[in-house]
Amino acid sequence: MWAAVGALGVGVLSAWGADTPTVGVSLTNLADQMQLEDLGQIPIEQVSTASRFTQKASEAPAQVTVVTSDEIKQFGYRTLADILAGVNGLYVTYDRSYSYLGVRGFNRPGDFNSRVLIMVDGHRINDNIFEGGYVGREFILDVDLIERVEIVRGPSSSLYGSSAFFTVVNVISKRAAAVKHAEVSGEAGSRGTVKGRATVGGVCPKTGAEVLLSASRYTSRGAGQLYYPEFDTPANNNGIAARRDGERADNYFGSLRFHELTASAAYVTRDKDIPTGSWDTQFNDPRYHAMDSHGYVDFKLDHKIDAQTEVMARGYFDEIRYGADYPLPVDPEVGGPTLNRDNSVGRIVGGEVQVTHRWNRHTFTLGGELRRHLNQDIENFDLDPYVLDAKAVQDSYDGGAYAQDEIMLRTNLLLNVGLRYDYYESFGSTVNPRLGLIYGPWDKGTLKLLYGRAFRAPNVYELYYPLSDNPSNEDLKPEVISTYEAIFEQGLPHNLRLSVAGYYYRIDDLISLDPETLVFQNVDKVRTKGVEAALEWRHASGVRTRVGCSVQRSEDANTGERLSNSPEQLAKFHVLVPLVPERLFTGLEILYTGQANTLPDRAVPHADAYWIANLTLFSQKLVEGLELSASLYNLFNEGYAFPGGPGHTQDLVYQDGRTLRVKLTYRF
């Protein structure tokens, strides 16, 4: 695998006319190239998520990837799921209902990303019933409003508490100055897909106040016909789900910034038709769909007391709703088909305070937060006649306090020490540390040795919601992960940058559903070891390439068997070529995912490995204020599938073939 990556990287460089780097090249031999090289230098990103204060990514106590708004446009990313799928070590699966994020070999089919913390501008987006972190069209922020995405791998519960288990994804929204008065955007694509957006923003020259308002609407008919052989009977339309893959989503966002104060609000509502006949529903029934909505208001103060001390305080309110209609098959005795419905409502009010102080060789971070869950309600019932099948009505609170110290032991040696205490009304307290040693032994080189422990609190669905006649398990403990990691990053001649990471993690008390009792238990243990590597190159002409691969092995520590939905190999390749400097670009993305096991009880043992290529042609500045792009997704019409989840009759859920999107944005 590593030989293949090296050969691919060198081949790409040679193809674009770059000299192949050799070991031991001196700086004097590169003197004639310095002026050209400086133009193509790979910048060291500034990040704020890893330590809760701004620092160089090379000094952060984690492996951090930043995806910018330019990359989002140049590679035609449509959702947060698209963005994350292109990041080394991550992979995304889709069951035609929700998108699921896999990190370093872990992605349970049907899991709602509860072991990943998703934030917008530091505001927690995970819901308070399933702890789901949603990344598809149900994500709260329109992708066009993203300034950058910071992905912090590894456990971060020492700063963020529950769900900061495998990774933290912080989506930073654009400021009003980036909009420049107003812009409208429209796009159209395959399968009846249409999207429109209008955004206004501005900065008051007298007061400095910034205002941004945006609204967007997305509709898609989806695949016209989807064939599922598991349902191939005359009563089930011969296994064809006809026009049952549609999706609709509305996004709204607004922010007001006045000096140190920021007020923001966001809302998303999404309705998805589900074609798979999952959870024993009537196949091809037009009533089967899921509905999600999430809205929040957030008030934040960033106050700089002096050159060494900063204070952040925020207060917020969230409301999250989920609903689904399940048409049940005809019962010969009862009749039908009847309609079964899920409803859930979550409401949260919370606040946090953080102080960052720099003194001598130390950067101290102290903070605390408190959340009151006003509603954590979920119910399931039949309509006409009304029959209540299951219900859980809860309210609770949780809070945490954290401390971190970044110590400059030497000019090229940092020690990061962090600790957080959390208390949950449901199970009690937990303490989670993080240690990081960051060493720069030579110019443009960094070695990081990291240890972290994180937890995921059992959610309301697992604790209180009865799935059978057996009582639910209110004695669940939090899941715990311990991670050991070594990261090496090095800038190389010819504007190359190399990063290699090796890691090992162990999960204890993993919460799983007992298939016989249908009660959640802390029964499973997982262990994983893996290596990730990436090579990036930039040329002064604007050509950029990035190649990465991951090799990992995730297994059940009790049985030694490989986890389901856990490919052992991933590879990513990105190349951006300016056809006309600063005006016309083509971006190519190639994603490889290795073979992945299906669930243990399935007849088909695995989903096959596959390659996906996505190609985007993007133009700007050809006409003042106008951007135009065209994207082909799954360029070579690859047939591929993901393992089905526990509610699917299908062992494999097949994905879309080649699709097209054309997009136009105009600023005025």
Q: Per residue in 578-632, pLDDT tens?
A: 999 989 999 999 999 999 999 998 999 999 999 999 999 999 988 889 999 999 9
Q: How far apart are CA 525 and CA 505, in angstroms?
A: 11
Q: Is pLDDT at 13 greater than 60 in this prediction?
A: no
d(CA 625, CA 609): 42
Strand segments (E) across 51-158: 55-56, 64-68, 90-94, 99-103, 116-120, 123-124, 146-153
Q: What is the DSSP string of 243-275?
A: S---EEEEEEEEEEEETTEEEEEEEEEEEEE--
Is residue 38 over pLDDT 70? no
Q: What does the block give as tokens for 185?
A: 């955007």
Res 17 pLDDT > 70: no
505-510 long-range contacts, CB within 8 A, separation 24+: 505/104, 505/481, 506/481, 506/482, 506/557, 507/106, 507/479, 507/480, 507/481, 508/479, 508/480, 508/481, 508/482, 509/477, 509/478, 509/479, 509/480, 510/479
User: What per-residue confidence (pLDDT) applies to 336?
Assistant: 63
Cα atoms in the 13 Å half-sphere on the side-chain side of 153: 27
Beta bridge partners of residue 292, listed in sequence order = 270, 322
Write down the H helix ranges in 511-653. Answer: none
Render pLDDT for 278-328 as a digit per residue (tens, 0 to 9).
Answer: 999 999 999 999 999 999 999 999 999 999 999 999 999 999 999 999 999
User: Can you tell me the mean pLDDT for 33-59?
Assistant: 77
Q: State the SS3 of 436-490.
A: EEEECCCCCEEEEEEEEEEEECCCHHHHHCCCCCCCCCCCCCCEEEEEEEEEEEE
C-alpha 121/C-alpha 595 separation (Å) is: 36
Position 170: which residue type? N
End-to-end CA distance of the chain: 49
Q: In whole angstroms, how far apart are CA 500 and each of 39, 371, 490, 558, 571?
A: 25, 38, 9, 30, 14
Q: Please, which pLDDT band fits residue 341 given cuts at 50, 70 and 90?
A: very high
Measured between alpha carbons, how far is residue 318 from residues 129, 257, 345, 463, 590 in Å? 12, 20, 11, 22, 37
What is the residue whose two structure tokens read 């609000």?
Answer: 265
Average pLDDT, the chain: 92
The predicted structure's pLDDT at residue 622: 85
Locate the domains of the chain by residue range: 47-667
Query: What span, in angstroms and rounded, lies between the C-alpha atoms of 101 and 118?
Result: 11
* pLDDT value at residue 36: 41
SS (H, E, C) 179-222: CCEEEEEEEEECCCEEEEEEEEEEECCCCCCEEEEEEEEEEECC
Report the pLDDT value the prediction gives residue 246, as an integer from 0 to 100: 97
For 140-174, how does the pLDDT look when each residue is reduced to its tens digit (9 = 90+)? 999 999 999 999 999 999 999 999 999 999 999 99
* Rounded-to-integer distance, Cα 250 and Cα 271, Å: 9
pLDDT band at 338 (very low <50, low <70, confident <90, very high): confident
Q: Cα 489 vs. chain centroid, distance in angstroms? A: 23
Q: What is the pLDDT of residues 85-101, one digit of tens each?
A: 999 999 999 999 999 99
Confidence class for position 44, pLDDT limits 50, 70, 90: confident
Architecture of the domain whose range is 47-667:
Beta Barrel (2.40)
Q: What pLDDT does residue 40 have?
A: 58
When comparing pLDDT for 2 and 182, which is higher?
182
SS3 at position 584? strand
| Cα–Cα distance measured from residue 449 to residue 61, given in angstroms and rounded to the nearest whole number | 8
H/E run at residue 70: helix 69-74
Average pLDDT estimate for 408-428: 97
Tokens describing residue 452: 């972290």
Cis bond leading into 337, ω under 30°? Answer: yes
pLDDT of residue 335: 65
SS3 at position 421: strand
Cα(187)–Cα(193) distance, rounded to whole angstroms?
8
- Inter-CA distances, 637 with 74, 86, 618, Å: 21, 18, 21
- Residue positions counted in the chain: 668
- From the list 454, 450, 451, 452, the residue with the least C-alpha distance to 430 is 454
Whole-angstrom Cα distance, residue 471 to residue 461? 13
pLDDT level of residue 334 (50, 70, 90 thresholds)? low
Comparing CA positions, the residue from 277, 186, 191, 194 lying closest to residue 231 is 277
State residue 10's pLDDT score. 36
Residue 236, SS3 per DSSP: helix
Q: What secondary structure letter does DSSP report for 622?
A: S
**549-554 LR contacts (CB < 8 Å, sep 24+):** 549/1, 549/2, 549/4, 549/5, 549/88, 550/88, 550/89, 550/104, 551/1, 552/104, 552/105, 552/528, 553/105, 553/528, 553/529, 554/104, 554/105, 554/106, 554/526, 554/527, 554/528
Here the tokens at position 339 are 């309609």
589 vs 11: which has the higher pLDDT: 589
Cis amide leading into 109 (omega within 30): no
H or E element: which one contains 80?
A: helix 80-85
Tokens of 289: 């769909």
- Per-residue confidence (pLDDT) for residue 337, from 0 to 100: 64
Q: How far is Cα 32 from Cα 30, in angstroms, rounded to an integer?
A: 6
Q: For 257-292, b where at least 16 C-beta lie within 10 A, e where not — what string?
A: beeeebebbbbbbbbbbbbbbbbebbbbbeebbbbb
C-alpha angle 513/519/525, rounded to 5°? 40
- Predicted pLDDT of residue 18: 37
Helices and strands (H and E) in the chain: how many: 6, 37
Residue 27 has pLDDT above 60, yes or no: no
